[in-house]
């Protein structure tokens, strides 16, 4: 079962996106300043994607801190409790701003289009949905795959997207296993997918990504069973981005795409990095989808780029373009942290921005060692 916001959107949307820096996971002063200036209407917020400065691992509580801060911020504007705000707005907090990455929030607002747009183009739309909560033994297994697929379809409907080809990025926030959850399952006679809490993040991300792939028709549902998660890397989604965290029990899904009838002054397009140093694919994306050359049009990119949304991972075969890497063998720093730093640097070098949404752990999200990238740009 999946849920969508109580207020369904009209046939046409008007979406705005704000990238707002912060001095810490609970710092919403930049958000408040936009609200006070009349630039941002908090009642229109449908999703927030944050990059917080924790370690991005099991014990990263900056994600929970940021989500709680947003819930308490939104509650009075939405006329509900903080707990209810969490169900009405999709809050996706991704920990880890290693290297040059800068902590920030990407805020999505949505309202019905005031009139039928005259531009005749497909423009940015957004939809959200939530799955039910999972019991510990469902994480990383087919129950999570199927629930995620259902939520993606619900979020597409919420966005007004009928054709999966118009979906360019699906952001999922998923739960992980803690020692308490593992013990709960064992005491009930259930068997969790793993007893390793860090490993559970990969299983949860992987199963969720395969759910996205199934919903978008990238993978045949019949090919998906328990044994393929974190095993068959040929099964993946080119548009899934999944982040695991300790702050929730079910999946939160945000679908970003384009639709006719949208009056948004924004467009979105996507590509897939084949490995952690594949800057060329991002340059092609900017050129082919937006007509911008990363070198000669740097000023236009600086003016028009809202954000890059990307996944990063240390290649599971231990190599990048044939050369050995050591990210998987570092006992001091988790591989996901290395990957975020590496990919963050590569992307920042292309677009000249460091407040980029780069999430680590790309299991079944793009090819092994690579990952999806989406760019949101202003039309002018």
Please identify every residue annotated as catalytic: 173, 243
Going by C-beta distance under 8 Å and a sequence separation of 6 or more, which residues neighbour residue 143?
A: 134
For 13, the enclosing helix (H) or strand (E) is: strand 13-21
CA-wise closest residue to 340 among 102, 99, 172, 20: 99
Signed CA dihedral, 292, 298, 301, 307: sign only: positive
Interior/surface letters 229-261, b for 16+ CB within 10 angstroms, e for the rest: bbeebebbbbbbbbbbbbbbebbbbbbbbbbbe
d(CA 261, CA 239): 23
The neighbour count for residue 194, using CB atoms within 10 Å, is 17
The neighbour count for residue 21, using CB atoms within 10 Å, is 12
Alpha-carbon distances, residue 247 vs 67, 95, 151, 274 (angstroms): 8, 12, 19, 31
328, 335 Cβ separation under 8 angstroms: yes
d(CA 174, CA 90): 12
Alpha-carbon distances, residue 237 vs 168, 247, 370 (angstroms): 11, 25, 11
Alpha-carbon distances, residue 5 vs 11, 112, 171, 173 (angstroms): 15, 14, 16, 17
307, 17 Cβ separation under 8 angstroms: yes
253, 155 Cβ separation under 8 angstroms: yes
294, 160 Cβ separation under 8 angstroms: no
User: Could you tell me whether strands 240-245 and 266-273 are parallel, antiparallel, or unpaired per DSSP bridges?
Assistant: unpaired
């Amino acid at each position: 079962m999946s849920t969508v916001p109580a207020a369904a959107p009209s046939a046409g949307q008007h979406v705005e996106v704000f990238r707002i820096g912060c001095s810490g996971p609970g710092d919403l002063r930049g958000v408040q300043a936009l609200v006070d200036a009349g630039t941002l209407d908090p009642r229109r917020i449908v999703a927030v994607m944050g990059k917080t400065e924790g370690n991005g691992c099991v014990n990263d509580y900056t994600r929970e801190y940021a989500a709680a801060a947003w819930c308490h911020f939104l509650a009075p504007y939405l006329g509900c409790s903080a707990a209810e705000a969490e169900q009405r707005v999709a809050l996706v907090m991704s920990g880890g701003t290693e290297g040059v990455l800068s902590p920030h929030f990407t805020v999505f607002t949505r309202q019905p289009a005031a009139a039928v747009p005259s531009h005749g183009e497909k423009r940015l739309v957004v939809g959200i949905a939530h799955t039910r909560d999972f019991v510990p033994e469902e994480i990383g297994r087919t129950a999570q795959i199927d629930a995620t697929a259902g939520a993606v379809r619900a979020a597409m409907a919420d966005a007004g997207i009928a054709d999966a080809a118009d979906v360019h990025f699906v952001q999922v926030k998923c739960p992980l296993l803690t020692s308490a959850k593992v013990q709960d399952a064992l005491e009930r006679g259930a068997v969790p997918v793993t007893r390793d809490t860090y490993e559970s993040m990969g299983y949860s991300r992987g199963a969720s990504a395969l759910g996205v792939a199934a919903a978008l028709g990238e993978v045949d549902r019949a090919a998906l069973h328990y044994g393929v998660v974190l095993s068959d890397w040929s099964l993946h989604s080119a548009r899934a981005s999944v982040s695991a965290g300790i702050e929730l029990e079910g999946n939160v899904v945000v679908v970003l795409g384009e639709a006719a009838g949208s009056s948004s002054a924004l467009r979105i397009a996507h590509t897939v990095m084949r490995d952690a140093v594949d800057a060329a694919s991002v340059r092609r994306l900017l050129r082919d989808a937006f007509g911008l050359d990363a070198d000669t049009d740097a000023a236009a990119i600086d003016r028009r780029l809202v954000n890059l949304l990307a996944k990063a991972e240390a290649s599971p075969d231990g190599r990048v373009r044939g050369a050995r890497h050591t990210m998987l063998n570092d006992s001091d720093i988790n591989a996901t942290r290395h990957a975020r730093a590496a990919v963050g640097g590569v992307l920042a070098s292309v677009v000249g921005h460091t407040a980029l949404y780069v999430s680590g752990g790309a299991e079944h999200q793009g090819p092994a060692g690579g990952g999806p990238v989406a760019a949101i740009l202003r039309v002018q």
